[in-house]
């Protein structure tokens, strides 16, 4: 009888460690998520296709609510947003942070309460601000001095809008230089060190239409340790103490942003949300007590950590090519639906699904169909040595920053999104068709 200590069972569990908790291998070569065989999803909806485990999304929302019961947890819509995602997040008691009028309109027209939404961004357009005010967004995060007068004018003399100020705390954290946003000399936020944050806050206090409710910071993305957040708490509370001394200001909210890292391959680290909550709470209480301040209400903004591990991308192999010492497996998607490997050098662990292979593993590079040499989805990974055209490959941890960053390169069309839950699969976002592409092009 196979036991939990059987090496084969342990190896299989390790291989599924970055997959949704519902992932199972009922038979060799068959993989199910949410009780649905992935091969059936590919046959029914075609490839490439993105599979989203509703149960995993909801459970991750509940994990955050349990870890931060006294905080406002806002799902970062930029990671991935569709109507169903907004609905699930709302039902699980989370708020939402958005970066554009498009994200805001989609959420509110789905029924998401606008007062639970925060709008941020380093270059908000007039349309973004007009939409936020028209729909009654809960908070607008000020990211530059020019926004202050523009927002106050848009609100009008008789209106009121709650705002926060995005502060640069001068902390380097994140998985890649291009996703570190807590450091000096980058496009986001207002620096404490240079005094720009303090100056902006003074200007906001002179605008009766704007009510400053708190400070906001975001350190970056793919942060897997707690220490950067502890350092951010200390610096943000230090600024709050100075504001209290200078203006008698007692800010009721502190937003520490998100950036909570996940594992993309077995063995990689992920941020421990429970440890984060415990240590941030303790540090916030200690720092506020030392500064003689009331403890503000905490706000956090997880995105990737909610939806990333819930997503799986399915691709069909179109060609296998051996060039010198390398074997390239070309699939029917690529950088058009997932630009992250090209942008950040991200590495994944694709897996053959839909058939059982007894062939010895071989080192291959999985490449996309787009006309760029850098269109590589998974470099130097192990797949069965008999990999062939027609095989189905599944890429885990694909829920965040894939389709939300998808492009129209080569006019291929973006893949659909399919939800799985309790043995059922349903379409959430349809495939972008050739007719969609043609209809947008109106100039002849």
Catalytic residue list = 371
CB 49 within 8 A of CB 436: no
| Spatial separation of the C-alpha atoms in residues 247 and 139, rounded to whole Å | 22
Name the residue among 71, 57, 76 with its Cα closest to residue 278: 71
Residues in CB range of 91: below 8 A, 6 or more apart: 58
CB 68 within 8 A of CB 297: no
The residues facing 117 across adjacent strands are 96
| Spatial separation of the C-alpha atoms in residues 364 and 180, rounded to whole Å | 31
- Determine which helix (DSSP H) or strand (DSSP E) holds 165, and give its type and residue range: strand 161-168
CB 90 within 8 A of CB 111: yes
357 alpha carbon, distance to own chain's centre: 34
The string of DSSP letters for 52-87 reads EEHHHHHHHHHHHHHH-TTSEEEEEGGG---HHHHH
77, 83, 87, 88: CA torsion to nearest 10: -70
CB 402 within 8 A of CB 49: no
- Determine which helix (DSSP H) or strand (DSSP E) holds 8, and give its type and residue range: helix 7-15
């Amino acid at each position: 009888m196979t036991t939990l200590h059987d090496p084969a069972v342990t190896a299989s569990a390790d291989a599924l460690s970055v997959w949704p908790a519902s992932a199972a291998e009922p038979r060799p070569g068959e993989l199910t998520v949410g009780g649905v065989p992935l091969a059936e999803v590919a046959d029914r909806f075609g490839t490439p296709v993105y599979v989203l485990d509703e149960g995993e999304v909801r459970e991750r929302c509940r994990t955050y609510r349990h870890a931060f019961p006294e905080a406002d947890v806002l799902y970062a819509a930029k990671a991935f947003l569709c109507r169903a995602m907004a609905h699930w997040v709302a039902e699980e008691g989370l708020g939402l942070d958005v970066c554009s009028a498009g994200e805001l309109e989609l959420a509110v027209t789905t029924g998401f309460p606008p007062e639970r939404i925060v709008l941020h961004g380093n270059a908000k357009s007039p349309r973004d601000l007009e939409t936020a005010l028209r729909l009654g967004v809960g908070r607008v995060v000020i990211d530059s001095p020019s926004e202050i007068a523009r927002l106050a004018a848009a609100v009008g003399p008789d209106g009121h809008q709650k705002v926060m100020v995005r502060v640069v705390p001068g902390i380097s954290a994140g998985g890649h230089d291009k996703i570190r946003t807590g450091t000096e000399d980058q496009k986001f936020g207002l620096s404490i060190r240079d005094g720009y944050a303090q100056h902006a806050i003074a200007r906001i206090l002179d605008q009766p239409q704007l009510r400053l409710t708190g400070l906001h910071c975001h350190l970056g993305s793919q942060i897997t340790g707690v220490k950067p957040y502890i350092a951010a708490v200390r610096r943000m509370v230090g600024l709050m103490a100075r504001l209290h001394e200078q203006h008698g200001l007692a800010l009721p909210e502190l937003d520490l942003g998100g950036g909570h890292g996940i594992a993309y391959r077995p063995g990689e680290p992920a941020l421990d949300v429970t440890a984060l909550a415990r240590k941030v709470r303790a540090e916030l209480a200690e720092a506020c007590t030392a500064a003689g301040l009331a403890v503000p209400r905490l706000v956090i903004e997880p995105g990737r950590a909610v939806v990333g591990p819930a997503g799986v991308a399915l691709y069909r192999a179109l060609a296998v090519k051996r060039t010198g010492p390398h074997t390239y497996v070309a699939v029917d998607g690529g950088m058009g639906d997932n630009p992250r490997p090209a942008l950040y050098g991200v590495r994944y662990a694709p897996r053959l699904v839909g058939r059982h292979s007894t062939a010895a593993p071989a080192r291959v590079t999985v490449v996309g169909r787009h006309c760029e040499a850098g269109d590589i989805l998974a470099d130097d990974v192990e797949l069965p040595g008999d990999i062939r055209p027609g095989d189905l490959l599944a890429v885990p941890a694909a829920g965040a920053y894939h389709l939300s960053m998808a492009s129209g390169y080569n006019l291929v069309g973006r893949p659909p999104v399919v939800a799985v839950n309790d043995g059922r699969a349903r379409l959430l976002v349809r495939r972008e068709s050739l007719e969609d592409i043609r209809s947008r092009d109106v100039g002849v």
